[in-house]
């Protein structure tokens, strides 16, 4: 069962392991939804308030009340950093400049049964802030802050920088596990929902080499 990082009567933030999908897949393996009965309070729910890619680890928000679900989804839809969503990623190479903003619209492109997000002028607005936290062995630990919430936004924007997420099977070389962590999530409510996820095992050594223990 995923560890619980935050819990009250309204919601949970769980630490989703890399490799665990949020929904059941065709292979009928385990998913986050398998644990919903243990987290239920009342007759209905819980519900996913947002989603993480299967290979992304870290903070996943789950609503226990329908009223909170609607409130959280409205906040998440506002963009412009209304909800604090911080990600850490190991990138191939080191981006120049140390920090910046990626303002590059994204659109879904399908080829046969495969799809990906691509930077296109007529795509949906997508903005990401980034800064290098440290480097080691020709790779970099980069913190991303989402100002919008597009599908695969960090992965597509990192590739657009010329430095894809290590292990990314769609936008990078797919060698090893994808190194992307939903590090911190904060919803600025009257009673805030806030959680920070520890690095997964496959990222911990690199992060320690870059910035020490966290």
Residues with catalytic roles:
53
β-partners of residue 145 are 86, 129
193 strand-pairing partners: 187
Query: What is the chain written as a DSSP string?
Result: -PEEEEE-SSEEEEEEPTT--SS--TT----GGGGHHHH--SSS--EESS---TT-EEEEEEESSHHHHHHHHHHHHH-TTSSEEEEEEEEES--TTSEEEEE--EEEEEETTEEEEEE-TTSB--EEEEEEEEEETTEEEEEEEESS--TTHHHHHHHHHT-PBTT-TTTS---SS--EEEEEEEE-SSS-EEEEPPPPHHHHHHHHHHH---
The CA distance from 24 to 76, in Å, is 24
């Amino acid at each position: 069962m995923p560890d619980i990082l935050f819990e009250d009567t309204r919601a949970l933030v769980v630490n989703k392991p890399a490799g665990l999908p949020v929904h059941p897949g065709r292979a009928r393996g385990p998913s986050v939804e398998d644990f919903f009965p243990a987290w239920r309070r009342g007759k209905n729910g819980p519900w996913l308030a947002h989603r993480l890619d299967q290979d992304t680890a870290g903070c996943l928000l789950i609503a226990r009340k329908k009223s909170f679900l609607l409130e959280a989804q409205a906040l998440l839809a506002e963009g412009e950093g209304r909800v604090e969503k911080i990600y850490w990623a190991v990138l191939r190479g080191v981006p120049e400049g140390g920090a910046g903003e990626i303002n590059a619209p994204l659109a879904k492109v399908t080829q046969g049964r495969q799809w990906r997000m691509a930077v296109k002028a007529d795509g949906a607005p997508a903005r990401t802030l980034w800064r290098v936290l440290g480097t080691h062995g020709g790779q970099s630990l980069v913190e991303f802050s989402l100002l919008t919430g597009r599908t695969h936004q960090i992965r597509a924007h990192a590739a657009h920088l010329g430095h894809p997420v290590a292990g990314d099977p769609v936008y990078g070389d797919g060698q090893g596990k994808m190194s992307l962590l939903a590090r911190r999530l904060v919803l600025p409510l009257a009673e805030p929902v806030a959680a920070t996820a520890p690095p997964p095992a496959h990222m911990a050594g690199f992060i320690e080499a870059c910035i020490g223990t966290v």
